[in-house]
Structure 1
Amino acid sequence: MEAVFKSDRGKIRKLNEDSGGIFKNNHGVLAVVADGMGGHRAGDVASRMTVELIEEKWKNVTNVLRAGAAEEWLYEAIEEVNKTIYHYANQNPDCAGMGTTLVAAICTEDFISIANIGDSRGYVIDESRVLQMTEDDSFVNALVQSGEISREDAEHHPKKNLLLKALGTKGKADPAIKTIVPENDTVVLLCSDGLSNKVSEEEIKEILLQSVTLDEMAEDLIQLANEHGGEDNITLAAVKVSFDDEAGEPS
């Protein structure tokens, strides 16, 4: 499977508080994007810790994960990370109140499982469509879901960045998880809101169809987000699920 991770500070922010990566083992590919928040430098601590913790857990997976087991693994891993981030913030005054979004995907030829908390997004893309697999855990999206405002109104709402859920909170994180069966050359795109707030689904599809490689697609998406303002950090992880690789050997 072809995979790429890229992160850009953007045009305005002095610090990149996003983290993420592509992590491979014998069972598949784990893609992760986390967008940190909190006091001075605390956001990058939260996002970096989250990615490092979930990467370490992925390295220690020994059993072959089927779809149901993958969802269970994601849920348990995210709950453990949430507890760790919360306790670390309580024990370190400089990090008090820190938190992070998280979107993570386990990608295999048989299934794709995507988990999220916060407003970092997961998309599944093929030649015919761009499908948003995640729902933002945000105040504005709750208004959209209840029918109080339209999706168009949500794009310019003054409380657009107000999150209802994030990692680093007391109690359960309770991430949302979905699983689909991929087609050949299905692309999984995970991104922070620095990308999704600036690049439309139609633009994502257009760039994907024009790009020869995932690396080119990633560069083009980040460039477009910056051209549209680049006010936030811009981070993405993408995986193309192809069936012509050697069985059991993620590339």
Structure 2
Amino acid sequence: MQIAYRTDPGKVRSNNEDSIGVFNDHDCLLAIVADGMGGHAAGEIASKMAVDFSSVRWTEREKTLSKEEAELWLNHLVRGVNLKLYEYAETHEACHGMGTTFAAVYCTSEFMIVSTVGDSRVYKQTKNHRIVQITEDHTYVNELVKSGQITEEEAEVHPKKNILMRSLGTEPTIALDTVTLDWSDCTHLLLCSDGLTNKLSNGKLSEIMEHEATLHEKTEMMIREANNAGGEDNISVIIISKDGDGEKQ
């Protein structure tokens, strides 16, 4: 496996509230995109704390986990991050209400465990080169789509599309969306914050992924295209390749 990643503040915001974590050893890796939220610098604190906590847990884990053990470990990690952030916000007045999205993949050459909270996404690129979203946005607008009140096209321009229904750190407990997949119909994984997906369609993401370029160059292309489309938000991208094409960052 190979991995490339980049985060960028975008063209409008002076600070970057996104954080990326990439941890790799023993033929397995953990990749995380966290998009923080909250007043002042609280969003930046939340996303960084989420990644830093994950780093500690990564070093403490058993080095070789079965598929079932990896799913249990990742679920424990997400719950642990949530409680850590919640307790910190409760005891630091400036951070009251802070939170973060969390898109995480525990990946080996045989399987991947995906868990997300919020609207940071994980996609897979299939062997026929299609980009398919394998996570669900925990947003108010997505609830409207699921209940049939609006269409997916209307959701793209809805004024409340950024309202989250679920995030880490805002409540003491959290509902989890965790799924286990294998590589049978998948060549690449893409993790990203909504600073990318609010600007680039699935078609555009597929087009970039199909370029004859290294993984690092593809992350650069995605950042550049999102910034060219306005760049109003922070942008974070991680690409994982099973077959090892591209550059390891």
Contact 1:4 1:22 in 2 (8 A): no
String of CA shifts for 1:164-220, please: whole Å, max 9, x gaps.
000002232122011111148711110000001111111111111114211011000
SS at match of 2:165: coil
Task: Give 1:63 shift.
Answer: 4.6
CA distance in 1, matches of 2:91, 2:53: 18
Residue number in structure 2 paired with 1:224: 225
Q: Where in structure 1 are there 5+ consecutive unaligned residues?
A: 245-249
Give the counterpart letter for 2:32 in structure 1.
V
Is 1:43 paired with 2:43?
yes
Contact 2:26–2:63 (CA under 8 A) maintained in structure 1: no
The offset of 1:234, in angstroms, is 0.3
Name the residue aligned to 1:22: 22
**Root mean square deviation, CA, Å:** 1.7
Contact 1:107 1:239 in 2 (8 A): no
Indicate the residue corresponding to 2:120 in structure 1.
120
- 8 Å Cα contact 2:86-2:172 kept in structure 1: no
- Is 1:152 the equivalent of 2:153? yes
Q: Aligned partner of 2:3: which letter?
A: A
What is the deviation of 1:127?
Answer: 4.2
The question of whether the paired residues in 2 share the 8 Å contact of 1:31 and 1:238 is answered with: no
Number of residue pairs matched by the alignment: 246
Partner of 2:201: 200
SS at match of 2:166: coil
How far apart in 2 are the matches of 1:155 and 1:167? Answer: 24
TM-score by structure 2 length?
0.94
Cα distance between partner residues in 2 of 1:189 and 1:160 = 21
CA distance in 2, matches of 1:219, 1:200: 16
Question: Runs of 5+ in structure 2 lacking a partner?
Answer: none
Cα deviation for residue 17 of structure 1 reads: 0.3
Query: Structure 2 vs 1, CA of residues 211 and 95 (structure 1 numbering), >3 Å: closer, same or farther?
Result: farther
1:210 aligned counterpart, secondary structure:
coil
What does residue 106 of structure 1 align with?
A: 106
Amino acid aligned to 1:116: T
Q: Counterparts of 1:200 and 1:184 in 2: how far apart (Å)?
A: 21
Q: Which residue number corresponds to residue 9 of structure 1?
A: 9
What CA distance in whole angstroms lies between the structure 2 residues aligned with 1:74 and 1:94? 29
Quick check: 2:50–2:85 contact (8 Å CA) kept in 1?
Answer: yes
Structure 1 segments, 4+ long, off by >6 Å, are none
Q: Distance in 2 between matches of 1:214 and 1:127?
A: 17
Instruction: Report the Cα distance in structure 1 between the residues aligned to 2:41 and 2:72, rounded to whole angstroms.
Output: 32
Partner of 1:96: 96
Deviation at 1:68, TM superposition (A): 1.8
What CA distance in whole angstroms lies between the structure 2 residues aligned with 1:151 and 1:186? 27
The 3-state SS of whatever aligns with 1:90 is: helix
CA distance in 2, matches of 1:194, 1:125: 20
In structure 2, the residue corresponding to 1:238 is in which secondary structure?
strand
Tell me: CA distance 1:79–1:145, structure 2 relative to 1, closer, same or farther (3 Å): same
Shift of 1:122: 0.3
Kindly state the Cα deviation for residue 4 of structure 1 after the two structures are TM-superposed. 1.2
Distance in 1 (CA, whole Å) between partners of 2:126 and 2:174 is: 31
- 1:93-113 deviation per Cα after TM superposition (whole angstroms, max 9, x unaligned): 111110000000011111111
Confirm or deny: 8 A CA contact 1:5 1:236 kept in the other structure: yes
Q: 1:124 to 1:64 in 2, by over 3 A?
A: same
In 1, Cα distance between equivalents of 2:171 and 2:235: 28
Give the Å deviation of 1:21.
2.2
Q: Is the 8 A contact 1:130 1:205 kept in 2?
A: yes
Task: Single out whichever of 174-183 and 156-165 deviates more from structure 2.
Answer: 174-183
